[in-house]
């Protein structure tokens, strides 16, 4: 190998090393950017969902959401309003509960009966709400924790229909994913 060929080979090796270092630096910069973006998105999910987002997901008006919060039907668990200009922030679980309330309203139950049922469910049922099936005939609400255990939430017995909370939760997770497709902290619907 001549001196010139040797210099050319070393120059080529040096160029390859520089390219590899540049590619590594670019990958590190991209990874840092992805980490910062993920941190920002996680922070948004950890800080909760604001009222306009919740209203869209649950398909209710802001006035309904505001009234339900002010009357303690569903209290935002991330952050309550603390005065003029402050925002209520809702967790995923809060939104599931709101969606169930909306489903019961759509089924013809009065808000007063729903309020009574929610209070009793909170006080008496130890089960995770996603494991409870709510049943109603339009006059009363039953809670089924298992096929063999049905509780008359309002203490009356009649024929019933069912709203299974788990699928409501899964559908809501899908809607949140559609609304926030790049949010890795958004709840994910369970695979069936």
Each residue's pLDDT tens digit, 43-53: 445 579 999 99
Each residue's pLDDT tens digit, 115-130: 888 877 777 665 556 6
* Mean pLDDT, rounded, for 55-76: 93
- For residue 159, pLDDT over 60 is answered with no
What phi and psi, each to the nearest 5 degrees, are found at residue 121?
-60, -40
- For residue 41, pLDDT over 50 is answered with no
Sign of CA dihedral 70, 142, 104, 111: negative
Q: CA-to-CA distance for 149 and 136, rounded, in angstroms?
A: 15
Which of 43 and 21 is assigned the larger pLDDT? 21
Confidence bin at 132 (pLDDT 50/70/90)? confident
pLDDT at residue 40, rounded to an integer: 42
* DSSP per-residue codes, 56-115: HHHT--HHHHHHHHHTTSS--SSB---STT---BB-HHHHHHHHHHHHHHHTT--HHHHH
Confidence bin at 147 (pLDDT 50/70/90)? low
Each residue's pLDDT tens digit, 173-188: 888 888 888 877 777 7
Determine the Cα angle at 140 with ends 134 and 145, to 5°: 25
pLDDT at residue 49, rounded to an integer: 93
């Amino acid at each position: 190998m001549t001196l010139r060929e040797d210099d050319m080979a070393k120059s080529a090796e040096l160029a390859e090393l520089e390219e590899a270092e540049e590619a590594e630096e670019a990958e590190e910069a991209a990874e840092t950017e992805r980490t910062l973006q993920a941190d920002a998105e996680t922070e948004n999910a950890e800080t909760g969902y604001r009222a306009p987002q919740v209203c869209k997901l649950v398909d209710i008006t802001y006035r309904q959401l505001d009234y339900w919060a002010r009357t303690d039907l569903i209290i935002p668990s991330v952050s309550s309003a603390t005065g003029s200009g402050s925002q209520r922030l809702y967790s995923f679980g809060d939104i599931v509960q709101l969606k169930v309330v909306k489903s019961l309203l759509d089924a013809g139950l009065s808000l007063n009966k729903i309020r009574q049922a929610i209070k009793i469910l909170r006080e008496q049922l130890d089960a995770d709400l996603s494991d409870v099936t709510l049943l109603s005939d339009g006059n009363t609400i039953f809670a089924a924790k298992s096929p063999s255990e049905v509780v008359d939430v309002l203490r009356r017995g009649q024929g019933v229909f069912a709203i299974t909370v788990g699928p409501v939760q899964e559908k809501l997770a899908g809607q949140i994913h559609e609304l926030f497709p790049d949010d890795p902290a958004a709840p994910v619907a369970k695979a069936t």
